[in-house]
Amino acid sequence: MAGMPLRMIVASLERQAGLIGLLTLRSMGYEVMVITKDPYIAELVKNPLQSIHSPEAHEIMKQADLFVNVHGREILTPDELAMPKYGCINIHPCLWKYPGMRPIRRLLADGGTFASVAAHIMTERVDVGPILEQRYTDINGLKTEVEVYNQLYYFYPRVILQAVPEMYCLRDNQEF
Protein backbone atom coordinates (compact mmCIF):
# COMPACT_ATOMS: atom_id res chain seq x y z
CA MET A 1 0.00 0.00 0.00
CA ALA A 2 1.29 3.43 -0.87
CA GLY A 3 3.05 5.23 1.95
CA MET A 4 3.42 2.12 4.11
CA PRO A 5 6.93 0.74 4.56
CA LEU A 6 5.66 -2.75 5.41
CA ARG A 7 7.39 -5.25 3.17
CA MET A 8 7.19 -8.70 4.67
CA ILE A 9 4.48 -10.29 6.73
CA VAL A 10 4.79 -13.68 8.36
CA ALA A 11 1.40 -15.34 8.58
CA SER A 12 0.21 -18.44 10.37
CA LEU A 13 -2.71 -19.63 8.26
CA GLU A 14 -5.05 -22.60 8.59
CA ARG A 15 -8.35 -23.68 7.05
CA GLN A 16 -10.57 -21.62 4.77
CA ALA A 17 -10.15 -18.43 6.80
CA GLY A 18 -6.37 -18.79 6.52
CA LEU A 19 -6.63 -19.01 2.74
CA ILE A 20 -8.75 -15.85 2.75
CA GLY A 21 -6.08 -14.20 4.90
CA LEU A 22 -3.32 -15.20 2.48
CA LEU A 23 -5.20 -13.87 -0.54
CA THR A 24 -6.05 -10.62 1.27
CA LEU A 25 -2.46 -9.95 2.37
CA ARG A 26 -1.13 -10.71 -1.10
CA SER A 27 -3.76 -8.46 -2.69
CA MET A 28 -2.47 -5.66 -0.44
CA GLY A 29 0.95 -6.09 -2.08
CA TYR A 30 2.81 -7.73 0.79
CA GLU A 31 5.38 -10.47 0.57
CA VAL A 32 3.93 -13.20 2.79
CA MET A 33 5.99 -15.95 4.41
CA VAL A 34 3.52 -18.67 5.36
CA ILE A 35 3.46 -20.97 8.35
CA THR A 36 0.89 -23.73 7.85
CA LYS A 37 0.12 -27.38 8.27
CA ASP A 38 -2.89 -27.05 5.95
CA PRO A 39 -2.15 -29.06 2.79
CA TYR A 40 -4.32 -26.85 0.58
CA ILE A 41 -2.57 -23.64 1.64
CA ALA A 42 0.84 -25.35 1.46
CA GLU A 43 0.19 -26.18 -2.22
CA LEU A 44 -0.20 -22.47 -3.02
CA VAL A 45 3.01 -21.15 -1.49
CA LYS A 46 6.73 -21.77 -1.83
CA ASN A 47 8.38 -23.55 1.08
CA PRO A 48 5.85 -22.98 3.87
CA LEU A 49 7.19 -23.40 7.36
CA GLN A 50 5.53 -25.94 9.65
CA SER A 51 5.93 -24.19 13.01
CA ILE A 52 6.43 -20.70 14.37
CA HIS A 53 8.72 -22.23 17.00
CA SER A 54 11.35 -23.46 14.52
CA PRO A 55 14.76 -21.76 14.21
CA GLU A 56 13.99 -21.01 10.54
CA ALA A 57 10.75 -19.25 11.50
CA HIS A 58 12.59 -17.23 14.15
CA GLU A 59 15.12 -15.97 11.63
CA ILE A 60 12.33 -14.86 9.30
CA MET A 61 10.26 -13.36 12.12
CA LYS A 62 13.21 -11.17 13.13
CA GLN A 63 13.21 -9.68 9.61
CA ALA A 64 9.41 -9.40 9.34
CA ASP A 65 7.45 -6.21 9.67
CA LEU A 66 4.32 -7.90 11.01
CA PHE A 67 2.95 -11.29 12.04
CA VAL A 68 -0.68 -12.13 11.20
CA ASN A 69 -2.43 -15.18 12.61
CA VAL A 70 -5.59 -16.45 10.90
CA HIS A 71 -6.80 -19.63 12.58
CA GLY A 72 -3.25 -20.73 13.35
CA ARG A 73 -3.04 -23.05 16.34
CA GLU A 74 0.33 -22.20 17.87
CA ILE A 75 0.69 -19.86 20.83
CA LEU A 76 3.61 -17.46 20.47
CA THR A 77 6.16 -17.03 23.23
CA PRO A 78 6.95 -13.53 24.56
CA ASP A 79 10.20 -13.58 22.55
CA GLU A 80 8.32 -14.51 19.36
CA LEU A 81 5.76 -11.75 19.95
CA ALA A 82 8.62 -9.23 20.09
CA MET A 83 10.32 -10.32 16.86
CA PRO A 84 8.32 -8.55 14.08
CA LYS A 85 9.00 -4.82 13.84
CA TYR A 86 5.35 -3.77 14.12
CA GLY A 87 4.07 -6.61 16.28
CA CYS A 88 1.52 -9.36 15.88
CA ILE A 89 -2.18 -9.46 14.96
CA ASN A 90 -4.66 -12.28 15.51
CA ILE A 91 -7.85 -12.61 13.46
CA HIS A 92 -10.51 -14.33 15.56
CA PRO A 93 -14.24 -15.02 15.25
CA CYS A 94 -16.53 -13.97 18.10
CA LEU A 95 -13.71 -12.62 20.24
CA TRP A 96 -16.14 -10.36 22.12
CA LYS A 97 -17.52 -13.39 24.00
CA TYR A 98 -15.62 -16.52 22.96
CA PRO A 99 -11.84 -16.21 23.12
CA GLY A 100 -9.91 -19.42 22.64
CA MET A 101 -10.75 -22.56 20.71
CA ARG A 102 -14.02 -23.43 18.98
CA PRO A 103 -15.75 -20.05 19.33
CA ILE A 104 -18.48 -20.79 16.77
CA ARG A 105 -19.33 -24.12 18.36
CA ARG A 106 -19.69 -22.38 21.74
CA LEU A 107 -21.71 -19.54 20.20
CA LEU A 108 -24.19 -21.98 18.67
CA ALA A 109 -24.41 -24.03 21.89
CA ASP A 110 -25.36 -20.82 23.73
CA GLY A 111 -28.01 -19.97 21.13
CA GLY A 112 -26.21 -16.83 19.89
CA THR A 113 -27.88 -14.74 17.20
CA PHE A 114 -24.94 -12.65 16.02
CA ALA A 115 -21.31 -13.38 15.29
CA SER A 116 -18.20 -11.34 14.53
CA VAL A 117 -14.71 -11.35 13.14
CA ALA A 118 -12.12 -9.31 15.04
CA ALA A 119 -8.48 -8.37 14.70
CA HIS A 120 -6.61 -7.78 17.92
CA ILE A 121 -3.03 -7.11 18.94
CA MET A 122 -1.44 -10.27 20.25
CA THR A 123 -0.07 -10.08 23.78
CA GLU A 124 1.42 -12.58 26.21
CA ARG A 125 -2.11 -13.39 27.37
CA VAL A 126 -3.97 -15.24 24.61
CA ASP A 127 -6.93 -13.48 22.94
CA VAL A 128 -7.03 -10.46 25.25
CA GLY A 129 -5.03 -7.80 23.38
CA PRO A 130 -6.56 -4.51 22.23
CA ILE A 131 -9.07 -4.88 19.41
CA LEU A 132 -8.14 -3.09 16.19
CA GLU A 133 -11.27 -3.87 14.18
CA GLN A 134 -14.41 -5.94 14.66
CA ARG A 135 -17.33 -6.60 12.29
CA TYR A 136 -20.64 -8.15 13.36
CA THR A 137 -23.35 -10.01 11.47
CA ASP A 138 -26.75 -11.48 12.30
CA ILE A 139 -26.71 -15.29 12.27
CA ASN A 140 -30.29 -15.81 13.39
CA GLY A 141 -31.56 -19.04 11.83
CA LEU A 142 -28.10 -20.49 11.12
CA LYS A 143 -27.67 -23.85 12.81
CA THR A 144 -24.23 -25.23 11.94
CA GLU A 145 -20.62 -24.10 12.24
CA VAL A 146 -20.30 -24.32 8.45
CA GLU A 147 -23.27 -22.00 7.93
CA VAL A 148 -21.90 -19.44 10.40
CA TYR A 149 -18.37 -19.53 8.97
CA ASN A 150 -19.75 -19.19 5.45
CA GLN A 151 -21.42 -15.97 6.58
CA LEU A 152 -18.29 -14.76 8.43
CA TYR A 153 -15.82 -15.36 5.57
CA TYR A 154 -17.08 -12.15 3.96
CA PHE A 155 -15.73 -10.17 6.94
CA TYR A 156 -12.20 -11.60 7.17
CA PRO A 157 -10.74 -9.51 4.30
CA ARG A 158 -12.43 -6.35 5.58
CA VAL A 159 -11.01 -6.80 9.05
CA ILE A 160 -7.52 -7.55 7.71
CA LEU A 161 -7.64 -4.59 5.30
CA GLN A 162 -8.43 -2.29 8.24
CA ALA A 163 -6.19 -3.82 10.90
CA VAL A 164 -2.85 -4.13 9.07
CA PRO A 165 -2.45 -0.39 8.29
CA GLU A 166 -3.83 0.50 11.73
CA MET A 167 -1.19 -1.68 13.41
CA TYR A 168 1.54 0.09 11.48
CA CYS A 169 0.24 3.50 12.61
CA LEU A 170 -0.22 2.41 16.25
CA ARG A 171 3.23 0.89 16.61
CA ASP A 172 4.85 4.12 15.47
CA ASN A 173 3.09 5.95 18.29
CA GLN A 174 3.00 3.63 21.34
CA GLU A 175 4.03 0.34 22.88
CA PHE A 176 1.76 -2.51 23.94
CA distances (Å), 123 to each of 30, 69, 112, in order? 23, 13, 27
Is the pLDDT score of 173 beyond 90? no
Structure confidence at residue 46 (pLDDT): 86
Percent of the chain, pLDDT > 70? 93
Query: What is the spatial distance between Cα 35 and Cα 13, in angstroms, rounded to a whole number?
Result: 6
Instruction: Identify the CA nearest to 33 among candidates 4, 16, 54.
Output: 54
Average pLDDT of every residue of the chain? 92
Is the pLDDT score of 167 beyond 70? yes
- Asked which of 103-107, 160-164, 166-170 is least confident by mean pLDDT, the reply is 166-170
Is the pLDDT score of 166 beyond 60? yes
Structure confidence at residue 5 (pLDDT): 61
Q: Are 69 and 89 in contact (CB under 8 A)?
A: yes
**Is 3.40.50.170 the CATH number for 8-92+119-132+156-171?**
yes
Q: How much is the average pLDDT of 148-155?
A: 97
pLDDT digits (tens, 9 = 90+) for 38-74: 999 999 998 899 999 999 999 999 999 999 999 999 9
Structure confidence at residue 171 (pLDDT): 63
Buried b or exposed e, range 96-123, using 16+ CB within 10 angstroms: eebbeeebbeebbeeebeebbbbbbbbb
Query: What is the spatial distance between Cα 99 and Cα 82, in angstroms, rounded to a whole number?
Result: 22
Q: How much is the average pLDDT of 158-172?
A: 86
Q: How much is the average pLDDT of 3-24?
A: 88
pLDDT digits (tens, 9 = 90+) for 68-125: 999 999 999 999 999 999 999 999 999 999 999 999 999 999 999 999 999 999 999 9
Three-class secondary structure of residue 134 per DSSP: strand
